[in-house]
Structure 1
Amino acid sequence: MDRFTAALILLSWLSFVTMNAQVPDYIQNFTLLESAVAKGAVCLDGSPPAYAYVEGYGSGSSNWIVYMEGGGWCESLMDCINRSKKYHGSSKYENDTNFVGILDSDSQLNQYFYNWNKVFIHYCDGSVYMSDIKKVDPSNNLTFRGARIYHAMMEEMLHKGMGNAHNAILSGGSAGGLSTILHCDRFRYLFPNTTRVKCISDSGFFIHGEGALANKSGPHFAHVIETHELGALLPKSCTSKRDPNLCLFPEYLIEDVSTPLFLVETAFDSFQIKYSFKPKSIQWGLCELSLEQCNSQQIRIIEEFRPIVLKTLMKLDKSCSRGVFVDSCYLHGHIARRSTWTRSPLVRNTTMEQAIADWYFDRSPFQEIDNNASPQVCPHSDP
C-alpha cells in the first residue's frame, strides 16, 4: 500500500469516527436570541444574549424550570472591559452547556424534574441580571443591560408557552442564585394565580455580616452597584429602609420576597471564604480547589465561617413558605451539578433532591441545617 492510499484510508476512518461520535445527551447547544438586540438586551460586549432549552414532555410538558447561570460580577469599568472579552461577558465564546443536576433529562438522576421544560440562561452582563444603562460609552463600547436580558428571556419563554405552566421554578447558582432572589417576585407575576410558582436559590446567599467580613464584603457590592448604576433598580422595599449599598445582600432582601423561596447553601462556602472572609495576609493556593489541600491554618479559617452563616440565617423571619437546606460541603454550587445533585450528603436523613421536591410539591416543609461543625469533602465534579 502506497502512502497516498494509506492517507486516504486514515482520513476516511477519521471522518467516520467524527461523524459517528456520540454527543452526550446532557450537552445542549446555546441559541442566540437575536431579536433581543433591537431591544438593547445584549451582553457586555454588545453580542446577543443566549440560552439553551429542552422541551418538556409527558407529565412534564406543562411544567417549567428556568435556571439563571452564575459567574460573579464586575466591580469596575476595567473589570467589566476585561470580562467583556470572555465567556461571562459575551456570547461569542461558547456554543453549548451541560444540563445536569436539576436540569438533567435522565429520570434515574433527576426523578422529579427530568421531563420538564428546562431553560438555561447564559450570564453575560456582570450585574446579576440587574443593570439597565441606556447610553453606551463610545470609548469602551460596553453595554450594561442585564435587566433587559432577563426581560427578553422571559418574553421568549412566554412565547414558547411558559405562561400556561401548571408548575414553574426560577432558579440559579451563585450570582444566578442571588439574581433568583432579586427576580423571584417578578417571575411570579408572569403567571396566573393557579400556577404553582416557587424559586430556588443555590449558593446565592452572599453574606454581609459584621466586623471584618462586612468591611470586605460591603465594598464589593457597593462597587458593583456604582459601576452598573443599580441604585434606582434595587428593590425599594430594601432601599427605603437602609443604605442602598446593602441591598444586594440577601439577608436584607429575603424578608420582602413574598413568593416561596428555597435556599440551598453550605456552611462552608469556598467562594465566599476565599474572596470575602479570609485575611488578605493568608495565601489560599490549592485550598480553593480541594479541602484535602488545605493546611491546619486554612481549615481553622474555614471553620470560623460557619457560625457567621448560621447567625445570619437565624436573623431571617421563620416564614413557613421558605425552605432551607444547609450542608457542610466545602464547595460553591450544588443543584446544577450531577455529582452533588445525586450524591449530596444527607441533612436530617434527607437528600437535597428529596428536600427540594417535598417542599416544592407541598408535601412537607424543609428548614434544616447540618450539625457538623467541620467542613466535609463532597463530590463536585461535572460529567
Structure 2
Amino acid sequence: MRANQQRLPRSVADGAFSWRRQLSKREWAIAGAAATAFAAFLFIISPISVSRTYTDSPAYFHGEDKGSEWVPFTSSLKAQEKSAFCLDGSVPGYHFRRGFGSGINSWLLHVEGGGWCNTIPLCSARKRTALGSSIYMDRQAQFLGILSHNPLHNPDFFNWNKVKIRYCDGSSFSSHPDHEFRNETQLFYRGQLIWETIMDELLAIGMSIAEMALLTGCSAGGLATLIHCDSFTDLLPKNANVKCLADAGFFLNEMDIAGNRTIESFYQDVIHLQGIAKSLNHDCVARSEPSKCFFPQEFIGNIKTPVFLVQPAYDFWQIAHILVPQSSDPSGSWASCKLNILKCNSSQLEILHSYRNALLKILNEFQKNPKGGVFVDSCFVHCQTWATETWHSPSSPRINNKTIAESVGDWYFNRRAAQHVDCPFPCNPTCSHRDLSLLMH
C-alpha cells in the first residue's frame, strides 16, 4: 500500500454530519465576502458539507468539554485612541484564551479570513456584515482545530495562549487611510492600524515574554500572516521560537481559462482603493508592481521567518475565482465542476491538474528552504487548520500517513522534515471533497 493510502483505523462509521452545527454566524457570513469580492455566487471559506460525510465522533475524543471551547469576544481597548477602526468605524477585536501548564509562555495567533473589497460599493456592503463591522460579530467563537485546547484534537499546541483575530477591514490587515471618504462615502481603511493595535494589546497581556509563537491564518488571513510574518517576529524576544503558518493563503497569479488576469486586476483595484502598497514587502515593491506583491509567490522568498504552507492543490475558492471566474465562463459549462470536483469532466480535470502543476512549480524554490514546510493535499477544499475534522481526527486528510496537525508539529518543533506533497486527484482516499452544490438548495 502506498504511503498516501495509509490511514488510521476508523473508530466511527461514516455517517450524517452537519458542518453547520459547529460553525458560527460569522463563519457562514464569509460566503458573503466571496460574493461581494467577485460578484459571484456564494463560496464560503469554512468547511462545508462533504461528499464523504462523517460524525463528530464524541466517543473517540473522550472527555471533551464542548462548552469550554467557546471563547468570548474582546473589543480592542486601544482602538479609539489609535483610530484603528473596521470599515464602518466600529471597534475591532479578538477572542483570547489564556494558556496553561507548559504552554503558559507560548502563543498561537489565528487570523480570520473573508476575502477583500475592491470598490466603494463592495466595501460599503461589507459594513453591514461581520466582515466590515464588529457590530455584527458573534460575541463568542468556538475554538476548534488548531485553536482547540483538547490534546486529542490538537496534540502540540493545545495548552498555548490562543487568539482568534477577527477580520473587518477587507484588506488582509494592510490598508491605510490615504483614500478615505471619497465620493462622500465614509469608509475606514485602517487594516494596518488594526493589526498594530491588536499586537500592542497582546504584547501588554503577556506576549512580550513569549518563548514560542506561531502566527497562523486562513485564506485572506493566511495572506495577512505572510504579509506580517517578519514584523510579527520583530515584536517578540530575540530568543523566541517564532514561525508562521499560512492556510489556503497562497493565491496564484494565473490567467483564467479565457486568458485574462482577473485576479491580478482585482488585487490592483484593492491595493489602489485601500492604500495597501505601504504594507507590502519592500524588496518586492522595489522590483515589481504593488499589485504583484499581493501574491505570496512574489515575496515569500524575502520572508526571513520560517514558514509552513497548508495549501490544497484543488482549492475550490481559487478554482472559482482565479481559474474560472464567472466572467470567463459565460455559458456556465463549469458550474457543476466548480461546485463539486466529482462532477468535472476529463477536459476540466486536465485544466485543474495544470493549475496544480503551476502551484507545484512555483513552490519548487520554496521547498529548497530547509526551514520551510508544506502540506499540499489533493482535496477539493479551502481552509483546513481551524476545523477538527481536517486538522486532526480519524477523518483528516493524510499525506505519508500524517495529518496536517502532525506535519505542522514536526516542522515547528524540528522533529523531522515536513515536505508533504500529494499525488494528483483522485488518488488520495483520505480527502473529504466539499460538495458546494448543497449550498444552492
Q: Same fold (TM over 0.5)?
A: yes
2:208 is matched with 163
* 1:198/1:261 contact within 8 Å kept: yes
* 1:303/1:374 contact within 8 Å kept: no
* 1:167/1:195 contact within 8 Å kept: yes
1:219 is matched with 265
Q: CA deviation at 1:234?
A: 1.6
* 2:219/2:248 contact within 8 Å kept: yes
Q: CA deviation at 1:89?
A: 0.5
2:305 is matched with 259
CA deviations over 1:318-373 (Å, ceiling 9, x no partner): 21111111001101001011110023322123221111001101112212210234
Which of 273, 277, 281 is the aligned partner of 2:330?
A: 281
1:195 is matched with 240
Residue identity in the other structure for 2:131 = H
Q: Please report the TM-score for the alignment, with normalisation by the length of structure 1.
A: 0.88
1:51 is matched with 94
Give secondary structure in 1 for the equivalent of 2:87. Answer: coil
Residue identity in the other structure for 1:61 = I
Q: CA deviation at 1:288?
A: 4.5
Q: 1:47 to 1:304 in 2, by over 3 A?
A: same
Distance 2:93 2:357 in 1: 39
Aligned residues: 360
Distance 2:112 2:311 in 1: 16
2:11 is matched with none
2:432 is matched with 378
Q: 1:81 to 1:297 in 2, by over 3 A?
A: farther
* 1:251/1:316 contact within 8 Å kept: no
Does 2:154 match 1:103? no
CA deviations over 1:253-281 (Å, ceiling 9, x no partner): 10000000001101101000000102323
Give secondary structure in 1 for the equivalent of 2:152. Answer: coil
2:44 is matched with none
1:309 is matched with 359
Q: CA deviation at 1:292?
A: 4.3
Give secondary structure in 2 for the equivalent of 1:45. Answer: coil
* 1:66/1:169 contact within 8 Å kept: yes
Distance 1:71 1:166 in 2: 30
Distance 1:293 1:73 in 2: 29
Computing the radius of gyration over CA atoms, which structure comes out larger, 1 or 2?
1
Give secondary structure in 2 for the equivalent of 1:348. Answer: coil
Q: CA deviation at 1:24?
A: 3.0
The worse-fitting range, judged by mean Cα deviation, of 132-141 and 183-192 is 132-141
Distance 1:220 1:135 in 2: 17
Give secondary structure in 1 for the equivalent of 2:378. Answer: strand
Q: CA deviation at 1:290?
A: 3.9
Distance 1:371 1:290 in 2: 19
Residue identity in the other structure for 2:368 = K
Which of 244, 251, 258 is the aligned partner of 1:206?
A: 251
Residue identity in the other structure for 1:82 = A
Give secondary structure in 1 for the equivalent of 2:284. Answer: helix
Q: CA deviation at 1:211?
A: 7.4
1:365 is matched with 417
The worse-fitting range, judged by mean Cα deviation, of 358-367 and 324-333 is 358-367
Residue identity in the other structure for 1:281 = P
Q: 1:201 to 1:100 in 2, by over 3 A?
A: same
Give secondary structure in 1 for the equivalent of 2:71. Answer: strand
Aligned pairs (5 A) from 1:36-115? 36-94=79-137, 95-115=139-159
The worse-fitting range, judged by mean Cα deviation, of 191-200 and 361-370 is 361-370
CA deviations over 1:222-242 (Å, ceiling 9, x no partner): 111111112233211101111
* 1:330/1:375 contact within 8 Å kept: no
The worse-fitting range, judged by mean Cα deviation, of 127-136 and 355-364 is 127-136
Give secondary structure in 2 for the equivalent of 1:232. Answer: helix
Q: CA deviation at 1:209?
A: 3.2
Does 2:399 match 1:347? yes
* 2:367/2:373 contact within 8 Å kept: no
Q: Please report the TM-score for the alignment, with normalisation by the length of structure 2.
A: 0.77
Distance 1:88 1:293 in 2: 32
Q: CA deviation at 1:27?
A: 2.3
Distance 1:299 1:140 in 2: 44
Residue identity in the other structure for 1:327 = D
Q: CA deviation at 1:375?
A: 7.5
1:126 is matched with 170
* 1:34/1:49 contact within 8 Å kept: no
* 1:329/1:375 contact within 8 Å kept: no
2:21 is matched with none
CA deviations over 1:80-128 (Å, ceiling 9, x no partner): 0111111101101122222111001111111111111000000000000
Q: CA deviation at 1:136?
A: 4.1
Distance 2:363 2:171 in 1: 24
Does 2:382 match 1:332? yes
1:145 is matched with 190
What 5-or-longer segments of structure 2 have no aligned partner? Answer: 1-64, 436-441
CA deviations over 1:12-36 (Å, ceiling 9, x no partner): xxxxxxxxxx973322221111421
Distance 1:282 1:308 in 2: 26
2:19 is matched with none
The worse-fitting range, judged by mean Cα deviation, of 213-222 and 153-162 is 213-222
1:269 is matched with 315
* 1:208/1:214 contact within 8 Å kept: no
What 5-or-longer segments of structure 1 have no aligned partner? Answer: 1-21
